[in-house]
């Protein structure tokens, strides 16, 4: 074919117009190479007290290390995860269920022995499951020998391992704490973050319970002792740590009072901590050095170890602050600070406070949150998402809508970033009810419906219907928290092999993610949609996961309580084929061809669609082919350009003329 100058000019102009109007093609950027296990895989959080009582050597009503070992196969083969994070298993008086540690290098006897632990690690390794421990650096138990020595007298060498201060004297000569700092776990309306110690007439600071005195991380002896704790477990073969309560590790060296929160209202106990703005007890300068120090220790054992920080953003800690704890490429800090955005979007407060404004159906807001997070991360940093943990109401209870819970789980495993899931969420376990006499968490004892009460999300896992303990423990054994009566309806065994179940959905999405490079390591781009009826536009979230190949995944999620019809605006020219791989409404839809320009979604319904499309590399085999293709499609290019310019505007230029079909709600 002969190429004239005029034709070439037309082609060039058309291409420029197309490029300018249609923004960047997703094929332009190269996808990241496959990463480490914690980048391509999935982390499953085990709350050991509630996971499985192996009844070996005998039943205790509390979960055990042997119980975890027994379920490793299930975790790998049924759920499909490659990493577990185990909440604390160390020796502890259990005032905060293991987050109050009295010996960092011993196992709490009810969980088992060190030999059980070694066996667990060996078994996990055999199955290719990585193990993350929970590292609790902010505080010890008040029964830890370090603290017992510290409180024994002011001159004890351990005195300075904790945060001791002299108190103030009140108007009526009463003893008052050194300043106004509060505890996150208020026992009463005073909410003192300090406890008075008679023997030495001083107060010690505790950000959490009075049984959890804060360590003094400005003391180098503390730092090196805690580094040795990391080394102890790394030597045993663990693959990394989740670092507990990280922003609270340092306090203002001047011990200044914190300012009152002008927006504070609410219950003085359950919301007591929020009365102040924590500018002197959270996110203090020096934290970056601390995490760098931990990172160095972890790296002594290899570059594949992971360090994940627990950091919730609040009115002191911004999202940028959270992200700053990735460090720099030259000097990395956390492998990932947890990203709690999805927890707050699928809002836990709303589950038990009807006055909290919450809209977990607001997909435009979700798009904003995810886009902002993605855009804020340095290119080398690994994003991550979390939907639940042992401190917040279970996802299924927060949403109280099975269809929407299925959508949320699908998002967790298709967004760009390492997903972390909470045990039991894979089969949609709900919060249990814990009657007054059986409440365990001190926060539940002060206020069961309060924000900080955590027994409901910690009731034992519902494995099967073999006994009234849902297979969690032996028949007739009193479990540490009661097994929810819902186990009859919701349990893992009943869901296995049932294609309509949550467990089946979760394992299929995970399998797809694990198999597909575009999903576990590809890039992310949110997509525009045209929704009918138009007023539900803000309820639909669509995004693309892609790499350098010409197969990508489009995820379309309708969070609305109503059915919609969606036209997805993909950022590439020609779709050759779109096949639904996951359908949260109907698992049998899988592998059917769908039309992304005309997608019917039920209420709370998502699809994950594999899309094969033309891209630069397939067109670009030779210049001759490119020119021929362009000449042949010059007309189409112009049409696409016009379409992109006018068809993209959401409310104008594109509308279904027909009245939308009534979508069959089964």
Binding site for ligand GLC (CB under 6 A): 96, 99, 136, 208, 244-245, 310, 390-391
Q: Which helix (H) or strand (E) holds 564?
A: strand 564-569
b/e per residue 558-571 (b: at least 16 CB within 10 A): bbbebbbbbbbbbb
Q: What tokens were used for 90? A: 């160390």
Is 244 a residue of the active site? yes
Closest separation between CB of residue 638 and ligand GLC, Å?
58
- Catalytic residue chosen out of the listed positions 91, 244, 333, 457: 244
Q: How far apart are CA 194 and CA 204, in angstroms?
A: 5
Tokens representing 50? 């509630």
Burial class (CB in 10 A: 0-12, 13-18, 19+), 204: buried
Please report how close the Cβ of residue 610 comes to ligand GLC at its closest, in angstroms.
37
Identify whether the C-beta of residue 39 lies closer than 8 Å to the C-beta of residue 380. no
Phi/psi of residue 655, nearest 5 degrees? -155, 145
Tokens linked to 356: 């909290």
Dist CA 272 CA 588 (whole Å): 50
Q: What Cα–Cα distance (Å) separates residue 199 from each residue in 28, 58, 111, 243?
A: 69, 42, 34, 33
Query: In the bound complex, which residue of the shown chain has the CB atom lying closest to ligand GLC?
Result: 99
Q: How many helices, marked H, and strands, marked E, lie in the chain? A: 22, 23
Residue 361 in tokens: 């159906």
Query: At which residue do the structure tokens 């390591």 appear?
Result: 521
Of the listed 134, 258, 310, 455, which one is catalytic?
310
Instruction: Enumerate residues 6+ apart whose C-beta is below 8 A from 335.
Output: 38, 240, 306, 307, 308, 382
* Integer Cα distance of 135 and 240 in angstroms: 9
Q: What's the chain's length in residues?
A: 666
Rank residues 185 and 553 by Cβ distance to ligand GLC and give the closer one. 185
Distance CA 253, CA 468 (A): 53
- Nearest Cα to 391, choosing from 332, 324, 444? 444
Nearest-approach distance from CB 394 to ligand GLC, in angstroms: 15
Q: Rounded to whole angstroms, how far apart are CA atoms 435 and 447?
A: 12
548 contacts 34 by C-beta, under 8 angstroms: no
Q: What number of CA atoms fall less than 13 Å from residue 107's CA on the CB side? A: 19
Provide the token pair at 194. Answer: 């300090």
Distance CA(206)–CA(216), nearest Å, equals 11
Cβ at position 471, least distance to ligand GLC in Å: 25
333 is an active site residue: no
3-state class (DSSP) for residue 414: coil
Buried b (16+ CB within 10 A) or exposed e, 512-539: bbbebbbbbbbbbbbbbbbbbeeebbbb
> Looking at the annotation, which residues are catalytic?
244, 310
């Amino acid at each position: 074919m002969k190429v004239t100058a005029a034709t070439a000019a037309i082609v060039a102009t058309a291409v420029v117009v197309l490029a300018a109007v249609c923004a960047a093609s997703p094929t332009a950027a190269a996808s990241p190479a496959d990463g480490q296990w914690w980048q391509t895989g999935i982390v499953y959080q085990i709350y050991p007290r509630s996971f499985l009582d192996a009844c070996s050597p005998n039943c205790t009503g509390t979960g055990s290390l042997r119980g975890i070992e027994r379920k490793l196969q299930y975790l790998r083969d049924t759920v499909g995860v490659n990493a577990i994070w185990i909440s604390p298993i160390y020796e502890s008086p259990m005032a905060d269920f293991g987050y109050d540690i009295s010996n960092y290098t011993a196992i709490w006897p009810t969980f088992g022995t060190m030999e059980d632990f070694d066996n667990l690690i060996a078994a996990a390794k055999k199955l290719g499951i990585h193990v993350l421990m929970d590292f609790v650096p902010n505080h010890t138990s008040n029964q830890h020998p370090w603290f017992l020595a510290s409180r024994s007298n002011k001159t004890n060498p351990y005195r300075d391992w904790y945060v001791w201060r002299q108190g103030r004297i009140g108007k009526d000569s009463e003893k008052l704490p050194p300043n106004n700092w509060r505890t996150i776990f208020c026992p009463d309306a005073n909410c003192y973050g300090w406890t008075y110690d008679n023997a030495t007439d001083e107060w010690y600071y505790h950000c959490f319970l009075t049984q959890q005195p804060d360590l003094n991380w400005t003391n180098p002896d503390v730092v090196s002792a805690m580094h040795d704790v990391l080394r102890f477990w790394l030597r045993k073969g663990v693959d990394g740590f989740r670092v507990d309560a990280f922003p609270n590790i340092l306090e203002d060296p001047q011990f200044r009072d914190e300012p009152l929160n002008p927006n504070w209202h609410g219950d003085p106990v359950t919301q007591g901590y929020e009365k102040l703005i924590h500018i002197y007890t959270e996110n203090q300068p020096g934290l970056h050095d601390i995490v760098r120090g931990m990172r160095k220790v972890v790296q002594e054992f290899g570059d594949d170890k992971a360090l994940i920080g627990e950091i919730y953003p609040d009115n002191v800690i911004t999202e940028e602050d959270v992200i700053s704890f990735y460090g720099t490429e030259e000097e990395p800090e956390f492998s990932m600070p947890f990203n709690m955005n999805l927890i707050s979007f699928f809002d836990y407060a709303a589950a038990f406070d009807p006055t909290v404004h919450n809209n977990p159906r607001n997909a435009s807001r979700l798009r904003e949150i995810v886009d902002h997070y993605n855009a804020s991360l340095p290119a080398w940093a690994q994003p991550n998402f979390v939907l639940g943990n042992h401190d917040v109401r279970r996802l299924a209870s927060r949403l109280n809508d099975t269809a929407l819970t299925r959508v949320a789980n699908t998002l967790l495993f298709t967004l760009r970033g390492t997903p972390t899931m909470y045990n039991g969420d894979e089969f949609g376990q709900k919060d249990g009810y814990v009657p007054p006499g059986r409440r365990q968490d001190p926060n539940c004892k002060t206020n069961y419906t309060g924000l900080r009460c955590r027994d409901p999300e910690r009731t034992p896992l519902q494995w099967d219907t073999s006994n009234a303990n849902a297979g969690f423990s032996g028949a007739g054994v009193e479990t540490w928290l009661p097994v929810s009566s819902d186990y009859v309806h919701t349990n893992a065994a009943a869901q296995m092999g049932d294609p309509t179940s949550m467990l089946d959905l979760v394992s299929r999405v995970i399998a797809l993610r694990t198999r597909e490079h575009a999903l576990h390591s590809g890039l992310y781009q949110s997509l525009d949609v045209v929704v009918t009826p138009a007023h539900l536009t803000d309820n639909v979230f669509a995004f693309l996961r892609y790499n350098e190949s010409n197969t990508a995944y489009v995820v379309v999620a309708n969070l609305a309580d109503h059915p919609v019809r969606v036209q997805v605006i993909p950022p590439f020219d020609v779709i050759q084929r779109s096949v639904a791989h996951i359908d949260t409404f109907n698992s049998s839809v899988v592998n059917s061809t769908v039309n992304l320009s005309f997608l019917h979604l039920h209420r709370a319904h998502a699809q994950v669609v594999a899309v094969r499309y033309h891209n630069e590399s397939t067109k670009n085999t030779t210049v001759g082919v490119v020119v021929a293709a362009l000449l042949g499609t010059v007309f189409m290019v112009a049409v696409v350009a016009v379409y992109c310019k006018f068809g993209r505007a959401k409310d104008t230029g594109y509308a279904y003329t027909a009245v939308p079909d009534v979508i069959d709600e089964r």
